Structure formats: structure tokens, C-alpha cells
Amino acid sequence: MEKEVIRLENIKRDFKVGSEVVRALRGVTFSIMEGEFVTIMGSSGSGKSTLLNTLGCLDTPTSGEYYLDGVAVRTMNKDQRATLRNRKIGFVFQNYNLLPRTTAIENVELPLMYNPEYSRKERREMSVEALKAVGLGDRLEHKSNQMSGGQMQRVAIARALVNNPAVILADEATGNLDTRTSFEVLVLFQKLHSEGRTIIFVTHNPEIALYSTRTITLKDGKVTSDKRNDNILDAAEALSALPIEKD
């Protein structure tokens, strides 16, 4: 029996904007099993950012239940959610969000700094492992401003991996990258997926969905389709098929 990592039950989220109530999510229900690579698609205004914030425990739903790795999130307070994020979630952002003037390894160590269980030595070892896993084992001491976009995103992915989270949440993680680098990052995500990690990739780019195992489409705050992908493309193949650029 597969383990359920995420379960959403009739999630609703209302925002008050002035006197109007904006209903960003209008009853979203789905489950994600361990080891899935799910793409959440939707145009802007579909409620995809709100869903991402909810999944990332940054926001709490107005009603409905959200279980992350078996833990009910809705009733948690701010500090409890912060700890939950620290232990169970790895974020990858569109704009990397690395600390400026800070080395790769220091950036990757950051989530572990907020977990008192790890010693300095353990932090370092785990971060080196994570950086090796994303292919940056030789760039530990490079500062964030000395790296290319692709490298920065890989550091960010290493940072998301380092705490061994239940789920990796990627928010338009290839949005700022050119085609080639995008594929490189996708290759990395597929590799992580093959190693058994659960990945949720939020995007408006339909192409990404071709490389994931399942696609959930949102529209006007509701799930309009939830399809399993039977023909998963290999990002590494696509990458090698790209024409080699000549300058």
C-alpha cells in the first residue's frame, strides 16, 4: 500500500479585499502518494498560488482539512507550521531566493540551522551530500553572485533536499531559466523523482506536465482535471536532442 503524503479535503480559501470576498479556492480535494511527480497547472487567477501556499503551510485554509504526512495542518499555529515547513517541506522558487554574498554550502545549510537537532558537523555533511546530489559537489564555496541561473537553481534545489522533506514544492522553478537550463533542471527533478522523492511542480507551462507522472489542472479555484500521465517523456533525451548553440 502506497503512503499518502498529502490529502486535501474540500479546501476553501476566501480573501477579503475591501468589502468584497474573493474565493480563491472553492473546494479542492485530492491526495498525493509518496513518490509521485505532480504538476499543478493553471492560468493566473486560477488559485494555483493560493493552493501552493496552502500546500507549503504558509497559509491556512478557511475551511476543509489538509493532512501533510498524516499531520492536520489547519489547526496549527504559526510556530508549529514553521517547524512543520522546516521538517517536511522543501521549497524551490522561481527566483531562487538564495542569500546574497553567501556561499552555496551556507545557503544549503540554512534550513538545518533552524533545526536544533543537527550539530555543525552534521549540517556540513548533509549539505555537502545535497550539493553533490544536484551536481555541484565542486562548487561548495562559490558565492551566490558567482553562479549562473542554472547553478543557483540547483543550489536552491539542494537547499530544498537537505532536510530530507516529505515533499518538494517547486514554484515555476524553471520560469527564469532558458530552454537548455530548464531541461537541465527538469533532468534533475526527474532524477530526484526516480530516487523516490515526492515532487509537486506548480507551473503555467504545459510542457512541464509531459515530464511528470500526474497533472492536476485548476481553474477558478476548482480542480478541472486530474490525469495520470501514461507517456512520461525523458528530460535527458529532450536535452540531448536540443541543438547545440554556437556563439
Partner 1 sequence: MNITNLLRLALKALSDNKFRGFLTMLGIIIGVGSVITMLAIGQGSKNSIKAEISEMGSNMIMISPGAERMGGVRMSSDDMQTLKVKDYEDIRSSCKYVSLVSPTVNASGQAVYGANNTPTSVYGVNQDYLEIRNYKVEEGDVFSDQDIHSAAKVCLVGKTVVDALFTNGEEPVGKVIRFGTIPFRIVGILESKGSNTMGMDQDDLMLVPYTTVMKRIQAVTYLQGITCSALSEEFTDKAIEEISEVLRANHKLKEDADDDFNIRSQQELSSMMTSTSDMMSSLLAAVAAISLIVGGIGIMNIMYVSVTERTREIGLRMSIGAKGRDILSQFLIEATLLSVAGGVIGVLLGIVAAYVVKALLSYPVAISSWSIFLSFAVCTLIGIFFGWYPARKASNLDPIEALRYE
Stretch that binds partner 1, among 7-15, 18-26, 108-116, 204-212 (CB under 8 A): 108-116
> Could you tell me the smallest distance in angstroms from the CB atom of residue 79 to partner 1?
5
| 19: exposed, middle or buried (Cβ count in 10 Å: 0-12, 13-18, 19+) | exposed
String of contacts with partner 1 for each residue 187-226, x by CB under 8 A = ----------------------------------------
Is residue 142 within the footprint of partner 1 (CB under 8 A)?
no
Distance of closest approach, residue 114 Cβ to partner 1, in angstroms: 4
H, E, C per residue of 139-188? CCCCEHHHCCHHHHHHHHHHHHHCCCCCEEEEECCCCCCCHHHHHHHHHH
Neighbour order of strands in the sheet with 89-92: 89-92, 167-171, 199-203, 37-41, 214-219, 222-228
Could you tell me the smallest distance in angstroms from the CB atom of residue 58 to partner 1? 5
* Residues touching partner 1, count (CB under 8 A): 26
CB 92 within 8 A of CB 168: yes
Nearer to partner 1, 87 or 154 (CB): 87
Least distance to partner 1, CB of residue 53, Å: 5
Q: Which is nearer to partner 1, 6 or 57 (CB)?
A: 57
Length of the chain: 247
Residues 26-85 that bind partner 1 (CB under 8 A): 53, 56, 58-59, 78-79, 82-83, 85
Over the window 159 to 188, marking each residue x when it contacts partner 1 by CB under 8 A and - when it does not, the resulting string is x---x-------------------------
Give least dist CB 183 to partner 1, A. Answer: 26
Q: Using the rule CB under 8 A, give the single segment among 34-42, 87-95, 191-199, 227-235 that binds partner 1.
A: 87-95
Minimum CB distance to partner 1 smaller for 56 or for 150? 56
> x-or-dash pattern for partner 1, window 4-23, by CB under 8 A?
--------------------
Binding site for partner 1 (CB under 8 A): 53, 56, 58-59, 78-79, 82-83, 85-87, 91, 93, 97, 99-102, 110-111, 113-116, 159, 163
